[in-house]
Amino acid sequence: MSPRLRIREFIVESFFVDDFSDEDSFLRNGVIDSLGMLELITFLEKEFGIKITDAELIPENLDSLARVCAFVERKRQLGSAA
């Protein structure tokens, strides 16, 4: 399963929402609240073997499915290059 599908599956199952596009803002559209964001971060770290720093907890990285997928891909590439 692709990372995008796995992340979408987690969001649908965890937050009981399935009507959102890859570009929809999680917070603005009520897909995920601030507590849910912590759950998402924990899931991403565990599922993809990445570490997310406090400095990376910004909307540009985590506020839509498209942004999360791009962020995870960047983190994974950095991890494999190390």
Confidence (pLDDT) at 81: 61
What is the set of domains in the chain, with CATH numbers? 3-81 (1.10.1200.10)
Largest CA distance in the chain: 37
C-alpha to C-alpha distance for 42 and 82, rounded to whole angstroms: 22
3-state secondary structure of 12: helix
State yes or no: pLDDT of 48 exceeds 60: yes
Q: pLDDT averaged over the chain?
A: 94
pLDDT at 82 over 60: no
- CB neighbour burial string for 54-81, b if at least 16 within 10 angstroms, e if fewer: eeeeeeebbbbbebbbebbeebeeeeee
| Entry pTM | 0.92
Cβ of 44: how many Cβ atoms within 10 Å?
22
User: What's the pLDDT score for residue 80?
Assistant: 65
Range 43-50 average pLDDT = 97
| Residue 22 or 18, more confident | 22
